[in-house]
Amino acid sequence: MALTPQWLDELRARVTLSSVISRTTRLTKAGHEFKACCPFHNEKSPSFTVNDQKGFYHCFGCGAHGDVIRWMTDQRGLSFMDAVKELASEAGMEVPAPDPRAAQAAEQRDTLHDVMKATQDWFVAQLAGPEGERARAYLATRGFDAHTVQRFGFGYAPEGRQALKGALKDVPEDKLIEAGLRIAVEDKEPYDRFRGRLMLPIEDARGRVIAFGGRILDAQKTDAPKYLNSPDTPLFDKGRTLYNLHRAGPASRQTGRIVVVEGYMDVIALAAAGIADAVAPLGTALTERQLELLWRLVETPILCFDGDAAGQRAAMRAISRALPLLRPAHSLRIVRLPTGLDPDDLIKQRGAAAMEALLGEARPLVDVLWEHERDAAPLVTPEDKAGLKARLLAHVETIADRDIQALYRRELLEQYSAFAFPRREGRDWRGAAPARPAPVRSRRAAPPRDALAAAVLAGLQRLPSEIARHAETLATAPLGDPRFEALVDAADAGQVLESAQIETILAARGLAAPAPEEYAGLRFGFLGDGIPVQQARAELAQAVSLLIERPALEAALAAATARFEQDLSEGAYAEQQRLLKRKLEFDARLRQMASARAGVAQSTPAKPMAD
């Protein structure tokens, strides 16, 4: 019998989480929860909470989160089964007998773990011996000290097709082949996979050796791959493994980040420079499973790629894999290294501080996606520009989360519109200098409307050239104010949009221009006098961004609240709380933008600006 979800739920229900945690961590009662200084990272004020009712702990500082079993594995260092057995004994429950087939598979894996351990010990011994001299010389050129060599388990696989077999005489041939250490070919004697290579162990989340990577040392062997990894085995699935994850995971709790580089030598170079929170895929592009492993640690991992063409292709492969998986607050940030430099080169030339500074400038995924497609092909003709728009929207359509999809569409189309339809300073669409219109007052008072929408409308009336820039974004957003539709239709029809015509365009549909009382209290800079035109445009664009973001955010929060009210699960609660936090952050941004500005008076209707 296997450990069913129902059995594990019963185990969790019978054990009080706070009583288990309080054995090693001092807890203080705080309402319906307990609080403490987090045991997973150093802190002076408590940000670690324990909720017995919901059955989970959470740290708002480092993100550590889990149930009582996760506590036993992460904090106590037990294996999953050891944790289950200890908790079951405490709860008076019998652990179900394992499935015979599962037990056989586990026994097989245990045997292979022994084989890998013996092999690793032999590789390390060879590095220290006479045959490892070339490998030691290579490590010296990389600048790795003895501590780094020992910590990462460097070894050496000597030349000779039967060297490993001769060293591990007690290990059956079939086990060496099953572990990926020997290669079997038809009608020939099997031979060692790794020969004449600097060796690195690849370890699982518990630090056990499950595979190897080998770097060639003989530069004359142009027919052999520079790096060679173990094949997939019962222990090793390269698409589900990240190199150095068992070390980088704990480090990420201290730094709040995880860095993904292209290879394991990059990981080691960063670690030697004091950057311990780096991992690497193993000869493949990032897979969906690897992305999920990263998101368990941090919400926005940093992908660090070389600045050459191959590095940019790797970045786009990762972005394409990530887009369908994006979910609220979970994304990627991208760092592009200077052309011709890898992490080790950058650190040697400019120091670890330069690498840290570069990581601190990691860019959002959406910006990197836009720049890649913009620069992917010449954009000379209208057809070229239409192709750019089609490529961007094709990426957007792959995003499964509808809220994020809508926000990506808005962001990318806004950047596309600014690029494809650049403003011509001081000229209208005919190339003539526009006449300065007289101030226009609304003849009809509009009924009470949304203040943010009214403020944006007033800003568009003052800066009519901005209507075309934001037309596509405004047309696709569920704003609920028909005045936006009127302005967008006018822009699409090619009408001359000047401040003096806005009121006429709205009146033709029975609508009134926004009056000051509609947006009273929102003291945006673009609604006041004396602000430079460029600054007014930038602030109006920010207000449009807030206006577009709000409906999607409010809809997502309402849906999450409804889900939580129905099932009261931990996941639904966490999602509702996360979106509520985002809504509060949104409101804070709006208040900050709409705060009073020195010298800005809005007691009178806004005047049109020279555009």
Q: For residue 405, what pLDDT band results from cuts at 50, 70 and 90?
A: very high
Mean pLDDT across the chain: 83
What gap in Å lies between CA 50 and CA 57, rounded to an integer? 4
Angle (nearest 5°) at CA 524 between 522 and 527: 105
The fraction of the chain above a pLDDT of 70, given in percent, is 87
Q: Are 334 and 368 in contact (CB under 8 A)?
A: yes
86-98 mean pLDDT: 84
Residue type, 149: V
152 against 499, higher pLDDT: 152
**What are residue 197's DSSP bridge partners?**
157, 216
Angle (nearest 5°) at CA 34 between 28 and 38: 80
Q: Are 323 and 399 in contact (CB under 8 A)?
A: yes
Backbone CA torsion sign across 559, 563, 566, 568: negative
Res. 486: pLDDT tops 50: yes
The per-residue pLDDT for 133 is 94
Q: Which two tokens stand for residue 581?
A: 């936090």
Q: Are 588 and 580 in contact (CB under 8 A)?
A: no
What gap in Å lies between CA 276 and CA 347, rounded to an integer? 14
What gap in Å lies between CA 413 and CA 395, rounded to an integer? 12
- What single DSSP character describes residue 219? T
Res. 93: pLDDT tops 90: no
What gap in Å lies between CA 199 and CA 152, rounded to an integer? 10
- Who's near 389: CB < 8 A, 6+ residues apart? 413, 416, 420
- For the domain spanning 242-420, the CATH number is 3.40.1360.10
* Pick from 477, 470, 476, 472: nearest CA to 554: 477
**What are residue 372's DSSP bridge partners?**
none
Q: For the chain, what is the total number of helices (H) and then of strands (E)?
A: 24, 16
Res. 110: pLDDT tops 50: yes
Res. 44: pLDDT tops 90: no
Res. 581: pLDDT tops 60: yes
Q: Are 493 and 554 in contact (CB under 8 A)?
A: no
186 against 122, higher pLDDT: 122
Res. 37: pLDDT tops 80: yes
Q: Which two tokens stand for residue 50?
A: 């324990």
Res. 362: pLDDT tops 50: yes
- What single DSSP character describes residue 327? B
The per-residue pLDDT for 363 is 93
Other Cβ atoms less than 10 A from the Cβ of 466: the count is: 22
Res. 138: pLDDT tops 90: yes
Render pLDDT for 417-458 as a digit per residue (tens, 0 to 9). 888 877 555 444 444 444 434 333 333 333 334 788 888 888
What gap in Å lies between CA 602 and CA 516, rounded to an integer? 8
Residue type, 378: P
The per-residue pLDDT for 126 is 96
At the top level of CATH, the class of 5-91 is alpha beta
- Who's near 339: CB < 8 A, 6+ residues apart? 307, 308
Res. 388: pLDDT tops 90: yes
Lowest mean pLDDT among 93-97, 374-378, 548-552, 561-565: 561-565
What gap in Å lies between CA 596 and CA 97, rounded to an integer? 69
What fold is seen in the domain 100-236?
A: DNA primase DNAg catalytic core, N-terminal domain (3.90.980)
Reading phi first (left if > 0) and then psi (alpha if -120 to 50, else beta), residue 63 is in: left
Lowest mean pLDDT among 185-199, 247-261, 565-579: 565-579
Render pLDDT for 282-326 as a digit per residue (tens, 0 to 9). 877 888 989 988 988 889 999 998 877 777 888 889 999 999 999
The fraction of the chain above a pLDDT of 90, given in percent, is 37
Cα-to-chain-centroid distance, residue 426: 42
The per-residue pLDDT for 600 is 41
The domain spans of the chain are: 5-91, 100-236, 242-420, 451-593
437 against 156, higher pLDDT: 156
Res. 488: pLDDT tops 70: yes
Q: For residue 550, what pLDDT band results from cuts at 50, 70 and 90?
A: confident
